[in-house]
Amino acid sequence: MTMVNSLGRHVLAELYGCAFEALDDLEQVQKHMKDAALAAGAEIRGCVFHKFSPQGVSGVVVISESHLAIHTWPELGYAAVDVFTCGEKVDPWDACRYLVDKFRAEYMTANEIKRGIMETGQKAAANL
């Protein structure tokens, strides 16, 4: 029997109907992203954020367990969010739910991808 384990979980989230001011304020976006990492149980190592002109913010929070990234389009009320976590103690969905609340999103669509899939018990065939 083959058992499949993964090294991490990567949630790709799309937040729609967000408040313009919530997505265009550099300090608030950075604070919400850092707080989302903490809400998920992660340990923050550093972050870098940039404010675009005339609007929009992009940034990344590096965590011991991997990262959170965001790119915002305030004029569209849209944010693209990635939350990649490794290990068992951090739940990327907790970070996504936190951000939905803080950016006042009307709704979110999201997919989870398992990263670093390791098969044990039988040798896995290479998919090249």
DSSP conformational letter for 53: S
Question: In whole angstroms, what is the distance from residue 21 CA to residue 23 CA?
Answer: 5
Cβ 83 vs Cβ 10: under 8 Å:
yes
Provide the annotated active-site residues.
Answer: 66, 71, 86
Residues found in the chain: 128
DSSP state of 32: H
